[in-house]
Amino acid sequence: MARQTLNNKPTQGNAAQRKNAAKSKHSHSYIILFLAVFCFILYGNTITNDYSLDDELVTWTNPQVSKGIKALPEIFTTFYYQASGNVGTIAFGYRPLAKATFAIERSIFGVNPQVSHFINILLYIATAWLLYLILRRLFKKFHWIFPLAITLIFLAHPLHTEVVASLKNREELLAFLGALGGMWFFLEYAGSGKTKHILWGTLCFLLGYISKSSVMPFLLIYPLTLYFFTDVKPRRLISITIVSLFVLIVAQVGPMLFLPEAIHSNALIENPLYLEKNIMARAATGFVGLLHYLKLLFWPSPLLFYYGYDMIPVTNFANPLAIISFIIHLTLFLLAIVLFRKKHVLSYAILFYLISIAMYSNIVVPVVGIVGDRFAYVASLGFAIAIGWLIFRLVQGKSQPSMANVQPSVPIIILLMLIIVPYTIVTIDRNKDWKNLTTLYEADIPHLERSVKANTQYAGNLMYNAFNAAQQEGRLPSRLDIERMIKHYNLSLKILPDYYDALNGLGTVYSNFLGDYKRAIQYFEAAARSNPKNVAAYINLGYVYRELKNNEKALECYHKVLSMDSTKVKAYFKLADIYFEIGDTAKATRMNMLATRFDPYTNVPYVNIGNYHLLSRDTLGAVKWYEKAVEIQPDYELCMKLYMHYSQQGDFQKANYYKQMAEQARQLTKQKPR
């Protein structure tokens, strides 16, 4: 009997363990499902959003993305962004992964921002799952409610709205997801020593890095995490550090082997620290910026689409905010160091935050916009860990020195709800602001009185919408809209009196909407003086002088444009119009033909020359040029003209040809994005 009893004990124990394991696995599945639902609660209302701030850089108007999957080789061998404008060419960055996903989307779904927003949510869900699994692994001695609480605090934080609701910032989602993938496999390698895990971890980190270099801090975070939460052997820790450094070098240096030299203008309006040589001024301003991030982590309002000059003015350590921030961050760092040898959770959380946010401090390298909500995305995980620990510590009290056996309780749930529920409400509400560019500007501009670029962009958006309304609906802007344009351009000039874009914009308002050409000339001339290399002001001056019937001055302006930049096709067309108007058809024709050298894909020169022949009653000459025009770029109305001409001539073969071409052109027009 004794033997039978002894034999039964292991059987009963194994059965109980299997039952508990099955129950734990079942609960675990519910948590995974809950996290997905929670992410949809947070960001589901973004699915109906349109394109917004800077989305065009990597989505529907990006020339590479518009080619779809076939552009993938080009995307992976070219700059992240490259364009030519009135001030020359800009080409910078290597972030191919997000653009690649949008190109694939284009091939499958066409131009569809709703699908893109849905995919962003799926990526956030993937982040939630992987983050929870990693945290559960790191805090395996704690009850599962602890890593879940940290995950929920992180997911709900409203600072993430710019990352998830903005399609352009998919790169941040992919970068963090790649970094977390690296974390998972490096943890596997630390325990097993299997080579396959370090290879998978290296690949994940590399994919994260070529999404965006914001994962650079993980070069330190990986070994930090392994030190705090594993008994990793020194050899394996060194191996992980070496491969992480290898990824960084490859990702930074590799693109230089096949990309030309980057061209990126570091402008004052983006960050005045680009021009600041005094290291103490840079440090003091940097600490003010770091204080801004801490404030938003605890009180995420107002959230803003852009900061820039002069939201955080360059300062020194006589500024109380710089001193307070320095003391706070030094105290946090010292606390982390004191608790470091104990492998304390709070030490890890603080160091994770400080390492992650350091690259955006502006102290070593200035960042675009001075500060930005998205820059705190990764760093906010350190904040979530610290807040989660403080909640559990507060409820547990001093009676239990260790938190290893902490259990979920009503006070813990209440405290978590006091954080997560308001965060969720703010997040859902903030998503509405990202509906489109106009809604975003309208929501944020009241808080951006000191941002030169934000005010100019807002005024420019009002102007863009006004021109669209005039073109599509024949509706002129209201007096209120005109006054708002003037107000916000003037707010920019109040801070930066010689800001080119604001001066040029004001000139456009006075010339195009108010007909005050005298004042418009003053602003355009001031713009030309402030930035002599930018040809837009001279093009606008040419327009004003034409309106004033001063063709001599207009010709002077357009020739000035071409002397500065001979590729400006618009100037050739304007000169052609003037020459034709004054009866010099030969010069008008020459200007149109010169334009074809720099834009061989436009049919405008051929249409213009065809019109000259038609006005001269040379129908056959006109038809010849119209045919050249539709060969290059089919146009419905032009094709119908040719159809009518050949129908009247009795050439029904050609007539039918151009009628079919007209129908094809109309179908293409219908398929164009909004």
pLDDT in tens, 171-182: 999 999 999 999
Look at the alpha carbons of 350, 355, 360, 363 in this order and tell me if their dihedral is positive or negative.
positive
Q: Would the pLDDT of 401 be above 80?
A: no
Burial (0-12, 13-18, 19+ Cβ within 10 Å), 304: buried
pLDDT value, residue 404:
62
Q: Sort residue 83 into left (φ over 0), alpha (ψ -120 to 50) or beta.
A: beta
What is the C-alpha separation between 607 and 592, in angstroms, rounded? 10
Residue ranges per structural domain of the chain: 61-110, 449-565
CATH fold of 449-565: 1.25.40
Q: Would the pLDDT of 96 be above 80?
A: yes
pTM: predicted TM-score of the whole model, two decimal places: 0.87
Of 645 and 262, more confident: 645
Degrees (nearest 5) of the Cα angle 23, 121, 115? 130
Q: What is the DSSP secondary-structure string of 528-549?
A: HHH-TT--HHHHHHHHHHHHTT
Strands (E), 361-417: none
**CB-CB neighbours of 272 under 10 Å:** 21
Calculate mean pLDDT across residues 490-511: 96
Q: Would the pLDDT of 633 be above 80?
A: yes
293-319, pLDDT tens digit by residue? Answer: 999 999 999 999 999 999 999 999 999
Tokens matching residue 457:
């962009």
> Mean pLDDT highest for which of 19-23, 347-351, 594-598?
347-351
SS3 359: coil
pLDDT value, residue 673:
45
What is the C-alpha separation between 305 and 298, in angstroms, rounded? 19
SS3 49: coil
What is the C-alpha separation between 82 and 99, in angstroms, rounded? 13
pLDDT value, residue 542:
96
Q: Would the pLDDT of 538 be above 50?
A: yes
607-621, pLDDT tens digit by residue? Answer: 999 999 999 899 999
Q: Sort residue 516 into left (φ over 0), alpha (ψ -120 to 50) or beta.
A: beta
pLDDT value, residue 26:
60
pLDDT value, residue 371:
96
Sole residue written with tokens 């002001």: 537
What is the C-alpha separation between 50 and 62, in angstroms, rounded? 16
Q: Give which of 53, 160, 127 is closest to 374, Cα–Cα.
A: 160
pLDDT value, residue 93:
86
What is the C-alpha separation between 230 and 49, in angstroms, rounded? 43
What is the C-alpha separation between 590 and 580, in angstroms, rounded? 11
CB 286 within 8 Å of CB 361: yes
Calculate mean pLDDT across residues 568-589: 94
Give residue 605's pLDDT band: very low, low, confident or very high (50, 70, 90).
very high
Residue 671: CB partners within 8 Å, gap ≥ 6? none
pLDDT value, residue 188:
95
Of 646 and 11, more confident: 646
pLDDT value, residue 183:
97
- CA distances 555 to 504, 523, 539, 578, Å, are 20, 19, 10, 8
Give residue 86's pLDDT band: very low, low, confident or very high (50, 70, 90).
low
- CA distances 258 to 8, 77, 247, 253, 283, Å, are 69, 7, 17, 10, 35
25-79, pLDDT tens digit by residue? Answer: 666 789 999 999 999 999 999 999 999 999 988 998 888 999 999 999 999 999 9
Give residue 471's pLDDT band: very low, low, confident or very high (50, 70, 90).
confident
Lowest mean pLDDT among 260-264, 275-279, 423-427: 260-264
Share of the chain above pLDDT 90, in %: 78
What is the C-alpha separation between 600 and 592, in angstroms, rounded? 11
103-113, pLDDT tens digit by residue? Answer: 999 999 999 99
Sole residue written with tokens 């293409």: 668
pLDDT value, residue 15:
55
Residue 585: CB partners within 8 Å, gap ≥ 6? 579, 612, 616
Tokens matching residue 382:
């350190």
Residue ranges of alpha helices (H) inside 193-319 are 195-209, 218-229, 234-253, 279-298
pLDDT value, residue 1:
39
Tokens matching residue 376:
């705190």
